[in-house]
Structure formats: C-alpha cells, structure tokens
Structure 1
Amino acid sequence: MTLPSSQFPDLRNRGVLVTGGGSGIGAALVEAFARQGARVAFVDIAEEPSRALCERLAAETGPHFIPADLRDVEAARNAAEAAAAALGSVHVLVNNAARDDRQTLEAVTEQSWDEGLAVNLRHYFFMSQAIAPHMRRQGGGSIINFSSIAFMLNMPEIPTYATAKAGIIGLTKSLAGKLGPDNIRVNAVLPGMIVTERQRRLWLDDEAIARMQERQCLKRMLIADDLVGPCLFLASDSSAAMTAQTMIIDGGVF
C-alpha cells in the first residue's frame, strides 16, 4: 500500500471513527489516519480481516476494532458509544460501510429492498445521530459520507444500491444544515471505479476495468489509496469552511 505522504498535524490525537474499516477502502483509511497520529476506531462485521488489520498496525497508533452489524440500529448506536468511550472523543466520523450487491429489477423483493437500504444508507444517519452529541460537546467535528458515482451511471443491476447512494447526498446536505451551527461539517465523497480485492473477486475483470479507464481522463486504475488524501483533507482543518459539498474522485468520468 502506498499512502499519500502529506501530513495534517491537526489530526494528531484526534478521535476518528471509520465504519466498514476492516478491508478495502475502509482499511486504507484506518491505516492512513493511524499514520497521521490520530486515535482510530473502526466498526466492521467481518472479524477475521479486522483483527488482521489491527495486528498489522500494532506498531502504529493501534486502531480499536468494534465488531458490529450496522444493519441493526441498536448495534450501530452501541458501536458509536463504544468508539466514543474508547477514543475519549470523536472528532471525525467516516461513514464508509456499504455493499454493492447486484440484483435485477424483477428479482427485487420488499425484503431485499429493505436490506439494501439498511446496509447502504440507514446506518449513515443513525451513526451520525449518535456521534453528533460527542462532536457538539467538544466544539465541532467532521462527518464524511461515502456515496458513489454509481447512481449517475444508469447501471441497471443496482436499483437499491443506486437509490441509497443518491440518498446519501440528500442526507449529507440535511445534516450539514442541522449541524453547521455546532461547527460540525458534513461532506460526501463519491468514488468512481475503485479496484479492491472484493471488486476483483465479485464484479470486475480486466475488460471491465479497461472500459472504465477509457471513460476516465486519468488512464490508470483507481485504488483504495486514491481516497485517502481527499478524506484526510475533509477531516482536517484544511477544509474548515467546507460543508454540504460532494467531492467526486473518479479519475475524471464526471
């Protein structure tokens, strides 16, 4: 992993909570914040990769792993409180956890629809709701919500996922309006085709990656590390006047 070399001194010793931090983009963010000297906690349902990440980063500012199924609202709330207790405070919340399952229009059921929104949207609100009082007490903070350009690509096999990712933009703006008077900033990041191990295993082959690179201005494969710099910026005081905004990181598709 090649992380950006930029340093954000104001992130040192700040409490950072990342959801879905055990692998993929989330793991890259956990490592990056730890290397900035932040106190990091992350939530994930997958225990094996999460514990492996903690072991690998033990020599850094070791992250605190909180196992939880964020589809369960009470579990999400409990995880938020556990993170606040472990870190002493939470200055940055990164709502990253998601799952881009494919499903045809005809195959969607009421149950699968509700499941998709629970995995990809609902916990963003309830984690933010639970963490906001902690940020308010310390005078402010930054919430970073992960959306995706997927909802703008007219992809036919992701109706629930696309709905959730579009909804995250609306949620971001609403939370920014509510929390701005408390000096809590809320912004969204929209990744393009980020090639992770999971994406390679489930959805992407060399042909699909090449097709997207043809659409990109930057003719290279995007990886999880490409999200690190933008998130460090949004978490830091460098973006102190930025809220209710969306930042697209897609190599120039849009």
Structure 2
Amino acid sequence: MNLTNQYPSLNGKTVFVSGGGSGIGASLVEAFFQQGAKVAFVDIQREASQALVERLRGERPEDSAAQVSFYYCDLTDIESLRATISQAAEELGPISVLVNNAANDLRHDFREVTPEEWDRHTAVNMRHQFFAAQAVYPYMKELGGGSIINFGSMSWHAAQGGMPGYTSSKAAIEGLTRGLARDMGPDSIRVNTLVPGWVMTEKQLRLWVDDSAREDIAKGQCMKGELLPEHVAAMALFLASDDSRMCSAQNFIVDGGWI
C-alpha cells in the first residue's frame, strides 16, 4: 500500500471496521494498522481474514503500538454484531472510530425480487450500519468524541441499474448519516459518508469488470486510470483523524471524478 500521510491522532486509537477481510475493507484495515491504531474487524471470510491478520502482525515494527484482531461475525445478526463490538471494546479499548464498510453489490432483476430477498439486501447493505453506530455511541460519548464513517456508493448517483436492493440501501445511508450527525453532534461525534466510485477490487475484476464495463469507466471518470482500494482508504484515514474534527454530515466522494 502506497500511502504517505501520517496522522498522529490515530496512533493507539481503537478502530472498528466491518467487512475487513478482503477488497476495500482489507485496505482499510491495513491503512489504520500502519497508522499505529488498534484495529478490530469483522467478516464472514475466515481464511482471508486470518491470513490478513498474520501478514500484518508479521510486518509490524517493534516500536509500533498497532494491533489487529479479527472477529467472525454475520452482520445480519444484530445481536451477534452488538456482542462482537462489545468484545472488541473490552479487548482493545473503547472504540473511537467506526468504519461501516461491509456490503454486497449482488446483481438482481427488479422483476423477480421477493419481499424476503429485499429484506436480505437491506440487511446486508444498510441495517447493520445503523446498529453498529448505535452500539459504538456510548464508547465515543465516554471518550468525548469520535468518528463514524458510513460507506455509500456512487452507483445510485450514476443511476446504475440491475441491483435495486443495493442502490436503494446506499442512497438511504446518506440520509442516515445526516440524521445521526445531528443527533450525535452535541457529543462531538462526527458522522460522514464516504462514497467510492467503481473500485478495482479482486471481486469486481472477477465478477463485473469486462470490456464493456471498462468502456463505461473510461467515459464516466474525469481522470484516467484505475480507482484502487488505497485511494478510498486514504480518505477514510482523514475522516477518522482529528484533522477532520469539524467535518460532519457530509459526503466525501472518491470516484475519479465520475460524471
């Protein structure tokens, strides 16, 4: 990962990342770890997550306070999520940064979606973000402040079809962010939405990025080149750090200038 900025305010802080085992999430975990943070992350991919933990622990400098811990958790099980957040806070310290990253942009035909499938889409892509924020609130209030970073998506801004459960959830997250920012602001907790564009993760390249998609990306982005997970992680570091202490209720878009 080629990130050059250092944020001293992140050193020693406890950061909770959802969906941290692969893709953007793994880059987030690595980026915060490199800042000297104590990173707890959840995922349902055990093998990939454990491999990430082993790699990062092997790369940690002797003088670093950085820690990384993986917790298996199905985010659609809210009681399990609450228990995992409590366990992470007990083991690593009160959580001062929450990164609500986990999602699944599974394609689906609007004509075939059942009510049960719709509920599954929203549970995977939106519902857990609210309950994670609710669960970390007492820790951040006790600490005198904190940062919640909800992950949105440029997909619905660009009127992309083929996944209404995903795009609807991501649109709703921006409303969730603004409401929570107002409610939590008096406790010095800032809440923002990080809105990635089409990020070239292994999953995206394997499932969705064909020649036609690359043409769409080339037309849509103002800037040439691939949007990578580390570009998104760089913004997350800023939003988590004290440098963004007066940034709240905003959308921070990292999409190569998609128009």
Distance 2:2 2:139 in 1: 29
User: Of the candidates 212, 217, 222, which is equivalent to residue 217 of structure 1?
Assistant: 222
5+ long unaligned stretches in structure 2: 61-65
Shift in Å at residue 156 of structure 1? 2.1
Distance 1:151 1:75 in 2: 30
Aligned position for 1:208 = 213
Shift in Å at residue 204 of structure 1? 1.2
User: 1:168-183, aligned counterparts within 5 Å?
Assistant: 168-183=173-188
Aligned residues: 253
Please say if residues 149 and 240 of structure 2, whose CA atoms lie closer than 8 Å, have aligned partners that are also in contact. Answer: yes
Please say if residues 190 and 249 of structure 1, whose CA atoms lie closer than 8 Å, have aligned partners that are also in contact. Answer: yes
Please say if residues 36 and 67 of structure 2, whose CA atoms lie closer than 8 Å, have aligned partners that are also in contact. Answer: no
Structure 1 counterpart SS, 2:95: coil
Aligned position for 2:251 = 246
Bigger mean CA offset, 126-135 vs 197-206 = 197-206
Shift in Å at residue 213 of structure 1? 2.0
Bigger mean CA offset, 234-243 vs 214-223 = 214-223
Structure 2 counterpart SS, 1:187: strand
Aligned position for 2:63 = none
Tell me the TM-score normalized by structure 1.
0.97
Distance 1:65 1:195 in 2: 24
- Aligned pair 1:192/2:197, yes or no? yes
Shift in Å at residue 207 of structure 1? 3.4
Per-residue Cα deviation, 1:11-39 (whole angstroms, up to 9, x for no partner): 00011010000000010010010000011
Distance 1:97 1:225 in 2: 16
Aligned position for 1:43 = 42
Identity %: 48
Bigger mean CA offset, 221-230 vs 198-207 = 198-207
Aligned position for 1:145 = 150
Distance 1:202 1:75 in 2: 29
Which one-letter code corresponds to 2:234 in the other structure?
G
Shift in Å at residue 88 of structure 1? 1.0
Distance 2:250 2:241 in 1: 15
Distance 1:86 1:172 in 2: 28
User: 1:26-41, aligned counterparts within 5 Å?
Assistant: 26-41=25-40
Shift in Å at residue 203 of structure 1? 1.2
Aligned position for 1:7 = 6
